[in-house]
């Protein structure tokens, strides 16, 4: 057995022609961390265990903490808040980057290329995915894992793929809280992927410092398919897949976007959003992309826009937590839960107006308890 085979081997049950995604990796324990396997074996980790685990960059503990934070149960909620309160002082020291674009534009591939490039430069990279991509493309969980295969094997990378649809019970991933955990664990570049449809890119924009839109060159009608609003949220427009036969078309698309950008409002005060080409597969343009991001960070930190945006985001986070919490409590209320099916059927039968139904359900929730 060669050294490589010893490290990665395939389990007995792997299908014929299975690729590397079936490889199992044996990882040596990290002796520099405080992690003691016996301690966590039989009992659920305590707040202390999780906080210590995250701060010592123990990835199992980082993953467990995120799972706890994403849980909808009341019991986990208390514990999650205690942990977050302890971690928040250790967070903030990172560059948060949002990546959006139509399905198949190459977001995951680009994240892998950029992530590997950054790790090479000594960074620690966390990758998060925000739904709704899994509900639309169904099964992007496996997709993300296999697409970021090289990155997922890196010790200095942490990848949290999109939750499978339904696991969060209709509540979107707690991305801001997850960012806090990753930063406290020492990840200094946070990459957040979201599919460019619907509302999710607005949400992601409100959590990141730098936001970019990934496009691909089409048959000259790129601009029609992309909402102007999304471009106006972006600090860079990347035309990906600028390789092979596609390179010329990508350059034409870049010129079209550059033209269009003159007429749009920039997303960040003092920063001119520009279009760039790159190839996530060949790696061409990744270096330049990082230069753009670094320049952005330097400029916005100097002119105060970086800090100002982060402050605004803290306020937004606060109120979005209040909204989420109210919503969660409402739908978690047993009486409300019991009545919802009946209300729904009465509305559909035409016996109850939606306005009346909403009023009654809220009244039920705010009853004397
Ligand atoms: N030629 C070429 N193909 C690419 C490039 N980047 C990505 N692809 C291919 O495009 C396909 C989609 O790539 P993904 O990275 O999964 O795209 P995505 O935007 O993350 O897709 P969703 O997560 O489903 O929205 C894959 O088959 C990639 O191999 C590139 O730079 N050049
Ligand atoms: Mg993807």
* Rounded CA separation 217/15 (Å): 37
Instruction: Please report the pLDDT score of residue 18 as a whole number.
Output: 63
How far does the centroid of ligand 2 lie from the alpha carbon of residue 53, in Å?
29
Instruction: Please report the pLDDT score of residue 174 as a whole number.
Output: 86
- Which CATH number does 91-303 carry? 3.40.50.300
Assess contact for 211 and 205: CB atoms under 8 A. yes
- Say if ligand 1 is within 6 A of residue 139 CB: no
Query: Is 313-365 in CATH node 1.10.10.10?
Result: no
Assess contact for 165 and 136: CB atoms under 8 A. no
Assess contact for 257 and 215: CB atoms under 8 A. yes
Instruction: Please report the pLDDT score of residue 135 as a whole number.
Output: 46
Instruction: Please report the pLDDT score of residue 328 as a whole number.
Output: 82
* Rounded CA separation 247/365 (Å): 58
Assess contact for 295 and 124: CB atoms under 8 A. no
Domain limits, the chain: 3-87, 91-303, 313-365
CA-to-CA dists, residue 7 to 242, 311, 347, angstroms: 35, 45, 60
What is the CB-side half-sphere exposure of residue 138 using CA atoms within 13 A?
Answer: 0
With vertex at residue 123, the alpha carbon angle to CA 250 and CA 277, rounded to the nearest 5 degrees, is: 5
Provide the β-strand partners of residue 125. 157, 189
- Intra-chain end-to-end CA distance of the chain, in Å: 67
Q: Which atom of ligand 1 approaches the CA of 282 most closely? A: 31
* Rounded CA separation 92/9 (Å): 38
CA-to-CA dists, residue 13 to 5, 309, 327, angstroms: 17, 51, 44
Instruction: Please report the pLDDT score of residue 144 as a whole number.
Output: 53
* Rounded CA separation 351/122 (Å): 64
The alpha carbon of 324 is separated from its chain's Cα centroid by a whole number of angstroms, namely 18
**Residue 267, both tokens:** 């997303």
Assess contact for 266 and 273: CB atoms under 8 A. yes
User: How would you label 287-299 residue by residue, b for 16+ Cβ within 10 Å and e otherwise?
Assistant: eebbebbeebeee
Rg (alpha carbons) of the chain, rounded to whole number = 23
Instruction: Please report the pLDDT score of residue 71 as a whole number.
Output: 83
Q: In which residue ranges of the chain is pLDDT below 50?
A: 1, 3-5, 133-142, 165-171, 219-220
**Residue 16, both tokens:** 């014929």
How far does the centroid of ligand 2 lie from the alpha carbon of residue 210, in Å?
18
- Say if ligand 1 is within 6 A of residue 188 CB: no
* Rounded CA separation 350/166 (Å): 29
* Rounded CA separation 221/228 (Å): 13
* Rounded CA separation 248/121 (Å): 31
Establish whether domains 91-303 and 313-365 are of one fold.
no
Q: Which atom of ligand 1 approaches the CA of 112 most closely? A: 15
* Rounded CA separation 51/48 (Å): 5
* Rounded CA separation 253/275 (Å): 9
Q: Which atom of ligand 1 approaches the CA of 103 most closely? A: 25
**CA-closest residue to ligand 1 atom 3:** 241
């Amino acid at each position: 057995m060669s050294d490589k085979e010893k490290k990665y081997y395939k389990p007995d049950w792997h299908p014929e022609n299975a690729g590397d995604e079936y490889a199992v990796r044996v990882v040596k324990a990290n002796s520099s961390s405080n992690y003691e396997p016996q301690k966590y074996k039989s009992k659920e980790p305590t707040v202390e265990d999780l906080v210590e685990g995250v701060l010592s960059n123990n990835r199992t503990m980082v993953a467990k903490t995120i799972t706890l934070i994403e849980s909808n149960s009341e019991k986990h909620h208390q514990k999650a808040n205690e942990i977050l309160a302890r971690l928040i002082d250790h967070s903030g020291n990172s560059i948060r980057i949002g990546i959006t674009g139509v399905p198949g534009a190459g977001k995951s591939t680009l994240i892998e290329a950029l992530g590997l490039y950054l790790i090479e430069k000594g960074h620690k990279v966390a990758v998060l995915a925000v739904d709704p991509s899994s509900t639309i493309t169904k099964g992007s969980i496996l997709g993300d894992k296999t697409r970021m295969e090289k990155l997922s094997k890196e010790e200095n990378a942490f990848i949290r793929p999109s939750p499978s649809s339904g696991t969060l019970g209709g509540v979107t991933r707690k991305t801001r809280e997850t960012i806090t955990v990753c930063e406290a664990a020492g990840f200094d570049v946070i990459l957040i992927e979201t599919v460019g449809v619907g509302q999710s890119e607005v949400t992601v924009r409100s959590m990141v410092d730098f936001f970019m839109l990934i496009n691909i060159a089409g048959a000259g009608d790129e601009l029609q398919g992309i909402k102007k609003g999304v471009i106006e949220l972006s600090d860079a427009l990347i035309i990906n897949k600028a390789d092979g036969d596609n390179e010329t078309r990508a350059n034409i698309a870049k010129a079209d976007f550059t033209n269009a950008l003159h007429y749009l409002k920039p997303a960040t005060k003092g920063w001119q959003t520009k279009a760039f080409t790159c190839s996530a597969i060949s790696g061409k343009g990744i270096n330049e992309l990082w230069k753009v991001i670094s320049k952005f960070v330097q400029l916005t930190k100097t002119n105060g826009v970086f800090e100002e945006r982060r402050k605004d985001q803290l306020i937004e986070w606060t109120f979005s937590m209040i909204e989420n919490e109210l919503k969660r409590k409402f739908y978690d209320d047993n009486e409300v839960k019991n009545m919802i099916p009946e209300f729904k059927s009465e509305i559909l039968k035409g016996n109850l107006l939606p306005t009346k139904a909403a009023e009654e359900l809220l009244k039920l929730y705010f009853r004397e308890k």
